[in-house]
Amino acid sequence: MASTYSSNGYLELIGTGEQSGTWGNTTNDNLQILDRMVDGVGSIALTGASYSINTSTDGDLSDGHYKTLVLGGNPTGTCNVFISPNTVQKLYVVVNESGQIVVMQQGAAATVTIPNGQTAIVYADGAGVGASVKEVTGLVQQGITATTAELNVLDGITSSTDELNVLDGITSSTVELNVLDGITSSTDELNVLDGITSSTAELNVLVGITATSAELNLLDGSTPGTTSPSNAVVTDSSGDVLFSEKLKAKSYTETFVTLTRALTTTIDVSSGNHFYVDLSAGSTTFAFSNPPASGTSYSLILEVDQGSSSSSTISFPSSVKWALGLSPTLTVGASSVDVFVIYTHDGGTTYYGFVAGQDMS
C-alpha cells in the first residue's frame, strides 16, 4: 500500500508494510516538519512585488511548515505573499520586517495587510480558488498600526473609562496628536479649553507663539477698550482704548494730515490731530466730521498756508466759537502761514477756536 499525506502539514503517512528498512528516514522528516509547525521560526527573504510561501505536498521540508514567518528581504514595494497551495489550512505568526507593506493572501477572497514593523496572527482557510486569509488578533483589522513602543506609552495610565471615552470620535492624525508630546499642563489647566468653540484656523493663529504662561495670563481679565492694572491692553472694536489711570509716556506723536483744498474742505477729526492745507488754489470754508462722543475732549492744530496765493480767505461753520465772536483773518502774502487750535468736548456741537500764531512764514 503506497504512502498518503496529511491534509495540512503534508506529513507522509507510510502505508502498511511499506518502506521496510527506510521508514526511519521518513519518520525523521515528519518529526522535523512537526518541529517547524509547533515552534519553528523561518526567515523569509522577500523579493519583487510578490512571493509564494509553499507547503511541500510530498513530505519534504518547506518554508510553509514554519509556525512563525519573519519576513525580510528587499521587496520593491507592497509585496503580495501567497500561501500555497490554496487548499491547505494554515495558522501563521507573521512578523513583517521587510521595510514594505505585506499583503497575505491565499485565494481570491479576503486578505490581511500588515504594515512594516507590525506582527499579526493570520488564518488561511484553504478554501481553494476562493480561499481567504483572516487576522486572528484583530488589531490590524481594526486599523491599529501602533508599534509596541507606542502602545507602551499607555503603561501606567490611571485615566478612568469615562476619561478615556472622551477620545471616542477623535479624528486627529498622529502628527496632530503628537503636538501634545511634552505637555505638562495640569488637568485643571487643560480643562480651561472645555467649551472652546474656536475653529482650527483660529487656533492655528497660536502657531509660533513663544509667550510664557505669565505673559499670556496678562490677557486674563482684560476688558477690550479699557485698561486695568497688571493686565494687557486690548482695543475695542473701533481700535480705541480708554485709560483708567494716568497715561505716562516717554514721548508721543500725533498724526499729521495734509488736506486737499476744495470750496468746502472737510476735516475728519478721527484721522489725526494736526492738519495742513495749502490755499494756492483759492479760498475755502472748513467743515468738521466724525468728532468723538460728547464727554470726550478732542483738539486739533490747523495750519493754513497761503501758498502761491496772497489773498485767499477761510471761513468756519457757526459751531466754531472765537474770542469776542470775531473770526480770524488770514495774513496776506504768498506763503504766509497762520496756525489755529480748535477743540470740542460735546460731540462737535460746539468747537472753540484760538489763534496760535499768524504770519509765521
Residues 292 and 352 in one domain: yes
pLDDT digits (tens, 9 = 90+) for 141-173: 455 666 667 766 777 777 777 777 777 777 777
Could you tell me where the beta strands, DSSP code E, fall in the chain? 4-5, 12-13, 41-54, 68-84, 90-96, 102-105, 112-114, 119-124, 133-135, 256-258, 264-268, 274-278, 284-289, 298-305, 314-315, 320-321, 337-344, 351-357
Residues 229 and 273 in one domain: no
Residues 233 and 317 in one domain: no
Q: What pLDDT shows up at residue 286?
A: 97
Task: Report the domain count for the chain.
Answer: 3
C-alpha cell at 20: 521496510
Give the rounded distance of the alpha carbon of 41 from its chain centre: 44
Closest CA to 305 of 278, 265, 275: 278
Quote the CA–CA distance of 101 and 112 in Å, as a whole number. 10
Residues 44 and 93 in one domain: yes
Which domain CATH number covers 269?
2.60.120
Domain assignment of residue 168, yes or no:
no
For residue 354, pLDDT over 60 is answered with: yes
Residues 22 and 72 in one domain: yes
pLDDT digits (tens, 9 = 90+) for 252-297: 899 999 999 999 999 999 999 999 999 999 999 999 999 999 999 9
Residues 233 and 270 in one domain: no
Domain assignment of residue 210, yes or no:
yes
Residues 22 and 118 in one domain: yes
Domain assignment of residue 148, yes or no:
no
Instruction: Identify the domain containing residue 210 by its residue range.
Output: 193-245
User: Lowest mean pLDDT: which of 120-129, 144-153, 203-212, 255-264?
Assistant: 144-153
Q: State the number of CA atoms in the 13 A half-sphere of 238 facing the CB.
A: 9
Domain assignment of residue 141, yes or no:
no
Strand partners, 70: 43, 95
Residues 223 and 313 in one domain: no
Residues 37 and 127 in one domain: yes
Give the rounded distance of the alpha carbon of 156 from its chain centre: 29
Of all residues in the chain, the percent with pLDDT exceeding 90 is 52
For residue 187, pLDDT over 80 is answered with: no
Q: What pLDDT shows up at residue 225?
A: 58
SS3 36: helix
Q: What pLDDT shows up at residue 272?
A: 95
Eight-state DSSP code of residue 58: S
Residues 35 and 116 in one domain: yes
| Domain's final residue, options 215, 245, 275 | 245
Quote the CA–CA distance of 266 and 41 in Å, as a whole number. 92
Q: What pLDDT shows up at residue 114?
A: 94
Q: What pLDDT shows up at residue 246?
A: 74
| Domain's final residue, options 120, 135, 150 | 135
Q: What pLDDT shows up at residue 227?
A: 64
Domain assignment of residue 176, yes or no:
no
| Beta pairing, strands 102-105 & 119-124 | unpaired
Q: What is the mean pLDDT of the chain?
A: 86
Domain assignment of residue 232, yes or no:
yes
Quote the CA–CA distance of 309 and 305 in Å, as a whole number. 9
Q: What pLDDT shows up at residue 232?
A: 66
pTM of the model: 0.43
pLDDT digits (tens, 9 = 90+) for 24-78: 888 898 898 889 888 899 999 999 999 999 987 787 888 889 999 999 999 999 9
Q: What pLDDT shows up at residue 158?
A: 76
Of all residues in the chain, the percent with pLDDT exceeding 70 is 89
For residue 193, pLDDT over 80 is answered with: no
pLDDT band with cut points at 50, 70 and 90 for residue 337? very high
- What are the residues whose beta carbons fall under 8 Å from the beta carbon of 11, sequence distance 6 or more? 5, 30, 33, 34, 59
Backbone angles phi, psi at 51, to 5 degrees: -155, 150
Q: What pLDDT shows up at residue 148?
A: 65
Q: What pLDDT shows up at residue 334?
A: 94
pLDDT band with cut points at 50, 70 and 90 for residue 185? confident
Quote the CA–CA distance of 97 and 115 in Å, as a whole number. 9
| Domain's final residue, options 105, 135, 165 | 135
Domain assignment of residue 163, yes or no:
no
Backbone angles phi, psi at 191, to 5 degrees: -65, -15
Q: What pLDDT shows up at residue 59?
A: 75
